Amino acid sequence: MTTGTEELSNVETAKKLGLLPEEFEKIKQILGRTPNFTELSIYSVMWSEHCSYKNSIVWLKTLPKDGPHMLAKAGEENAGLVAIGDGLACAFKIESHNHPSAIEPYQGAATGVGGINRDIFTMGARPIAQLNSLRFGNPDLARTKWLMKGVVKGIGNYGNAFGIPTVGGEVFFDESFNVNILVNAMSVGIVKEGETASAISYGAGNPVYIVGSATGKDGIHGATFASGDLHEDSHEDLPSVQVGDPFMEKLLLEASLEVIKTGAVIGMQDMGAAGIICSTSEMSAKGKHGMNIYLEKAPTRQANMKGWEILLSESQERMLVVVEKGREAEVEAIFEKWDLNCQQIGEVTEGDRLRFTMNGELLADVPAESLVLGGGAPIYNREYSEPAYIAKNKAFKIDSVKQPSDLKAVMMHLTTHPNIASKKWVYTQYDSMVGTINMTTNAPADAAIVDVRNTKKALALTVDCNSRYVYADAEAGCAIAVAEAARNIVCAGGHPSAVTNCLNFGNPYNPEVYWQFVHAIKGMSAACLRFETPVTGGNVSFYNQSKNEQGEVPVFPTPTIGMVGIIPDKKKRMSLNFKQEGDVIFMLGSSRDDINSSEYLYSFHGVKNSPAPFMDLEEEYALQQVIKQLIKDGLIESAHDVSDGGLFITLLESGMPNGLGFRIETDEEIRKDAFLFGESQSRVVVSVSAEKLDAFVEMMADTDVDFVNLGEVTADDIIIDDQAYGSIIEYKEAYDNAIGKMMEA
């Protein structure tokens, strides 16, 4: 049997669409015939890495998925779902929009925000907070500044118009991201347990609706585009970048939550990557049914769109909804109230065939199961081998680095470095207060804290990954990313609950890139198991690289960790800022002669090859338990983890909010540069009031965690080993304005 009047495809057509010759043969076997162009396009997008995870699923399955709060495991729904108590659940997920943002930064970033929010509210959860994790190239390059301005404006304009606060995130710069930037967006929502919707389709005869925006030609083959290299002609792929409309999304949000509450919805799914074909196939495969879809019924923005264009379009703000037969009028009335397109485009059928017609002509007839992850989509075990540069990293010796004679020059270098300096230029373009649930605006903490209304609870949210650590040692670096995320939540007064991830790597067919991926997964698994933070799902983004005359240039491997934690009593949340002059400053955890992969070593000394900083999971776990207890008992005034920039930057960031300085002494047994600027893990700086000092020391003495009295909080002076290094005001001005000046230069 053939479908329609299209010419049959061949292996060359398959290759142009991103399919391997062996995949073309497999499609022929599945169908029992040669596919036509529409069918081949269907398999091209559904078997792309972006949709099928064909090169990653083998290792993703090894990640821990069980935890005490889990309500939906990885892969079961559009987003992760964890119980937070009081009959409520938290839905959350992080995804990438890297390639589109590198081509058209404004729309690429904006539609990334829109897409991740739809994943949350199609589950029936109301989004309450957004975070993002961004990677850019050399900040001195004009292109980097153009990309950064576009991305930040796209995130800000979409999120602000949609009405959901952006409460946290991270920005990192490195030359490896000069061409291929990374834009990872996270959304978090709240829903009552038992009131969620599922991305499923079943019940022969149930009507299938397309809801929301009209379908246009934007984003066609976008999933395939996201699974390829960026190159000098990539600007020609601009039609693969979607266009967003936040006001439409807001209407869609309210209508979706209202229609879910009726109980008339069988299933609902966002039309993201791969559009109609993705939603119809994934929902059908999950429910073990088929669909008849009449493409001419889909509202379109452009005249004379071809059937395959409608089928593969990735136009934004659209959803597929399967409704209980007989309740059509009830559902249609709600979408009409919100002034949204709501058009029945088909019905559920017995069996598992997806049949797509256009004006009575059958364009495609494919089994749903053959298209999806866990069904017929191919699964590969890729070869991997240790990158050659790892030997150079291991060969690094700290004695090869001369200690600086001018410590203040180092301090100012780090304070103003774009990887450390305030991201004020970025976050002031975001509305962080809409909805009035952000609890860290005037009380900064290591994690974003958002109120869970009508309860005692709050959520602690963070995104973390130091790409340089993962490049240095993928396993250790990824374990550090999980540990830091958990540490940030604990320092904010929370208990880590679960993880979503966005795994950004280069070409999986490159054995050295795949080695980075495999070892990152191993590090993530070990750390998530130790902190009891199961992985609820996320996103894999391969092919983050560019091509030049030397060949492929992959980005630094960046497995971004999004973590949610629960603060049982919001009154006991913890901030990072010093509270008053005279409070005693302690460091919990051990200092080491370790400057590995620190910003100090990498950018001040220009040493690009060294191992990851020290980190021991058991040491880290013990430290976090102690921090939890100190906060619970009310024995500390502030808590701030030691991370990028080392102890000096931690102290600086603790002092700046209230304009307070610090007087400390270093450890004579440790190199001064390592003590102040090294980034060895499992360290937290806390401040203690005079009244609680004895109780604090008594409690710490009963633990196995090292702690040392560093000194005290001052009015504004910064004094180290009795030497003055200026006032906190001087550093704050430099810290706050560094990126703004960089963007204006």
Is 50 in the active site? yes
Alpha-carbon distance 123 to 260, whole Å? 9
DSSP-derived secondary structure letter, 657: G
Alpha-carbon distance 158 to 430, whole Å? 9
Of 587, 570, 617, give the one whose Cα is nearest residue 457: 570
CB contact at 8 A, 711 and 585: yes
Question: What is the side-by-side strand order in the sheet with 353-358?
Answer: 265-270, 318-323, 207-212, 341-349, 290-294, 353-358, 361-367
Which one-letter amino acid corresponds to residue 490? V
Alpha-carbon distance 429 to 426, whole Å? 6
Of 541, 247, 601, give the one whose Cα is nearest residue 419: 601
Of 48, 486, 11, give the one whose Cα is nearest residue 224: 48
SS (H, E, C) 713-741: EECCEEEECCEEEEEHHHHHHHHHHHHHH
Concatenate the DSSP letters of all residues of 82-128 into one string: EEEETTEEEEEEEEE-HHHHHHSHHHHHHHHHHHHHHHHHTTTPEEE
From 97, 99, 417, 519, the catalytic residue:
97
From 50, 221, 289, 640, the catalytic residue:
50
Helix, strand, coil shares of the chain as percentages rounded to 5? 40, 25, 35
Alpha-carbon distance 528 to 563, whole Å? 11
CB contact at 8 A, 133 and 170: yes
Is 221 in the active site? no
CB contact at 8 A, 266 and 206: yes
Alpha-carbon distance 488 to 743, whole Å? 29
Nearby residues of 744 by Cβ (< 8 Å), 6 or more positions away: none
Residues 195, 200, 204, 209, CA torsion sign: positive
**688 - beta bridge partners?**
584
- The tokens of 591 are what? 């200092």
Which one-letter amino acid corresponds to residue 222? G
Question: What is the side-by-side strand order in the sheet with 717-720?
Answer: 638-641, 684-688, 584-588, 707-714, 661-664, 717-720, 723-727
- The tokens of 232 are what? 């000098």
Alpha-carbon distance 381 to 53, whole Å? 12
- In Å, what is the CA distance from 242 to each residue of 101, 185, 390, 560, 697? 10, 16, 39, 23, 57
Residues labelled catalytic: 50, 97
